[in-house]
Structure 1
Amino acid sequence: MANPQLLIDQLKLLVGTPDSYGTEEQRHEIKRLGRLASNVLEAPFETMQRLPLPLVAARIGQDCHVFSTLAAGQDSVDLDTISQASGLEPRILESIMDYLCNQGMAVQAESHRYLLTPMSRLLLLPLFGDAVTHFVRSHDNCLPGFTALHRALKEPRDSTLTAFQLGQHTDEDFYTWMETHPTNQAAFHRFMKAQFASLPTWLDVLDFKTELGCDAEATDVMFVDVGGGNGSQCAGLRRAWPDMTGKMILQDKPQVLERALQVEGVEKMGHDFVREQPVKNARAYYFRQIMHNYDDDVCITILKAHIGAMGNHSVILIDDKVLPDAKPPPRCARGRVHGCSQSGHEGNV
């Protein structure tokens, strides 16, 4: 049986001294098996989310002078220096640097200080700059937006255009655009459904009946699924509490509600969640996978639109992706291993 710790120790030695590790034939076999090991260890949806982005990140690193700024530094380069060279705001740049580090295109030597890696040195060569430009091609839902991200970052700060809109040459937001692209829309919803099918849900951590259903009456609105799409969460709550007292309301755009599930006792209501919430005093206003689609200002607008509707027993439930503020220690710097690999962690709240 394989010894995981022994393998980890061997890989640390390899990362620290790659040029002196084995014969050429052995190095080729290590690379082949390393790729296979990475593929079999990661979850399928990690693979699907990983594939399109590295080339786009490489393009940003090249076009925004991130790599050249790191190369010009005598030692590690601080975030502010990279920000000045790239023209990117530090708060945006930090997220980009996190991803570049995760993909081996930079390394965080210490907090807010970064080093070049062999991969990013390679990406500074004209030949590989042309290769990145060639392979980042536009098609389907997201890749045009990924491709346009470097252009969106250079737009004037008062511009309302997103990377998606620039990439798709539209002034519509993603969800509105999908309404006229049914094939893309179907693929998106199938992917999202499959992605979350095996994960715990909010109902696994919240006993809705005990926490929010006490003393409920038939006239009470128990659950408003705001921007709830096809109503799958209403259906889940109905399964968890089949004899629920009170009402459930599913809110979304009218054209979305036309294709929603038929769930017993659920009222469908056309509503835009940036506008004042018309349903007052509900026990729960639920937002699933919504907030991460918008910047802070829009999220605040959404929440403000619901504060006035809340009663003494009302709560807002946000079920979304989260990332920790504190990053794991960097994996390596100048050939020295410093602990665990740098990777994002996400979960549901």
Structure 2
Amino acid sequence: MEALFQQVRSLAQSGDEEQRKDVLDSLQRLRNSIEKPDDTSLQMAALRVEIDLSLFSSLAESEKPLAVGELSDKTGADPIFLGRMLRYLASFGAIKEADKDTFTSTNISSTIAPSGFQAAICHYFDTMNPAIQSLPSFLKETNYEYLTTNCAGMPTFLDAYPVREHATALHPERVLFVDVGGCFGQQAIAFRNRYPDLAGRVVVQDLAPTLQHAIQHAGVETMEQDLFQPQGAKFYSSGNIFHDWPDDKARIILQNTIEAMAEDSIILVDDTVLPNAGVHWQAAQLDILMMTTLAARKRTSCCRVPG
């Protein structure tokens, strides 16, 4: 990889400005062809407009490339405006320009087309982006002090932890797995689907307003529960919980779980821990987003919850 890197650098530096830009364009096309949606920070405003017009859904459902006029008929958008927007989306690889004023899906747009991914983009643009835009002025006003008063296809603990090896003393009436603060139940459902034969109840716990929107699954039950009240089960899972809370609150959550544990109970913490150096840009970006939108943070490998 290093030899290839040096070869590309040499090629870019040996030619004129036009050749340097050609190298950059070629590298961008290569990146577009192999990346997945979570590998890049796409232009949010254009994607937000796309979602309102359902452009990616229309392209994904079509068996052939669609002309601007066809997409204008589907969306009701002005064809001149739409052509400009589609060309912009194609310029950074979100879609592909198949011919003049004709466009088709890419691996990026096909993945973004489902409603779940589009909801994430809307959340980022509508909720997180205003906070991000306010961050520079806010930090200047507060003299750059850090506030600590509050705090789609990625691997999970199920891919690393040997559940079967530790799944002993099970009983159909015993709680097998509790997802503490489990939101809509995705992780609990993933656990039950991965281990449908293990005896015991699988429970997702969260506050009542959240559980009203929980995903229904025959093998998973919901239970109203406050993170700061004692729990009860064989496996306790806390996924992406502690990065929301300062150390004193994290200790309370852990202590309440510990007090309810049986001798064979196990706590599983599924969260991101940043290395002390050489942090990947996605992880560093997530840390800044946590700070900006929730006054929270991603802990590093040198940080621990004392107590």
TM-score by length of 1: 0.49
CA shift for structure 1 position 147: 1.7
CA contact (8 A) 1:234 1:263 kept: no
Matched residues, percent identical? 32
The amino acid that maps onto 1:200 is: P
The amino acid that maps onto 1:147 is: Q
CA shift for structure 1 position 8: 1.6
Aligned counterpart, 2:239: 288
CA distance in 1, matches of 2:185, 2:159: 18
| 1:260 maps to 2:211 | no
* Aligned length, in residue pairs: 203
| 1:303 maps to 2:303 | no
- Of 35, 39, 45 in structure 1, the residue corresponding to residue 32 of structure 2 is 39
| 1:276 maps to 2:276 | no
- Of 145, 148, 158 in structure 1, the residue corresponding to residue 134 of structure 2 is 148
Aligned counterpart, 2:203: 249
User: Structure 2 stretches of 5 or more lacking a match?
Assistant: 45-123, 285-307
1:1-349 to 2 correspondences below 5 Å: 7-13=4-10, 18=13, 21-48=14-41, 140-154=126-140, 155=142, 195-196=152-153, 199-211=154-166, 213-273=167-227, 275-277=228-230, 279-280=231-232, 282-327=233-278
CA distance in 2, matches of 1:202, 1:283: 16
CA shift for structure 1 position 23: 1.7
CA distance in 1, matches of 2:18, 2:242: 50
> Structure 1's 315 and 153: CA in aligned 2 closer, same or farther, altered over 3 A?
farther
> Structure 1's 263 and 139: CA in aligned 2 closer, same or farther, altered over 3 A?
closer
Instruction: Deviation per CA, 1:230-264: give whole Å up to 9, x if none.
Output: 22222222223223322222111212212222333
The amino acid that maps onto 1:141 is: T
CA distance in 2, matches of 1:14, 1:299: 52
> Structure 1's 240 and 139: CA in aligned 2 closer, same or farther, altered over 3 A?
closer
Task: Indicate the RMSD between aligned Cα atoms, in angstroms.
Answer: 3.3
CA distance in 2, matches of 1:267, 1:244: 15
User: Structure 1 stretches of 5 or more lacking a match?
Assistant: 53-137, 163-172, 174-194, 329-341
CA contact (8 A) 1:324 1:345 kept: no
CA distance in 1, matches of 2:257, 2:194: 26
CA contact (8 A) 1:152 1:161 kept: no
The amino acid that maps onto 1:29 is: D
Secondary structure (helix, strand or coil) at the match of 2:182 reads coil
Aligned counterpart, 2:98: none
CA contact (8 A) 1:218 1:245 kept: yes
TM-score by length of 2: 0.55
Aligned counterpart, 2:67: none
CA distance in 1, matches of 2:2, 2:221: 55
The amino acid that maps onto 1:214 is: T
CA contact (8 A) 1:234 1:266 kept: yes
Instruction: Deviation per CA, 1:61-108: give whole Å up to 9, x if none.
Output: xxxxxxxxxxxxxxxxxxxxxxxxxxxxxxxxxxxxxxxxxxxxxxxx
Instruction: Deviation per CA, 1:115-167: give whole Å up to 9, x if none.
Output: xxxxxxxxxxxxxxxxxxxxxxx9512111212223444537696788xxxxx
Secondary structure (helix, strand or coil) at the match of 1:218 reads coil
CA shift for structure 1 position 285: 1.2
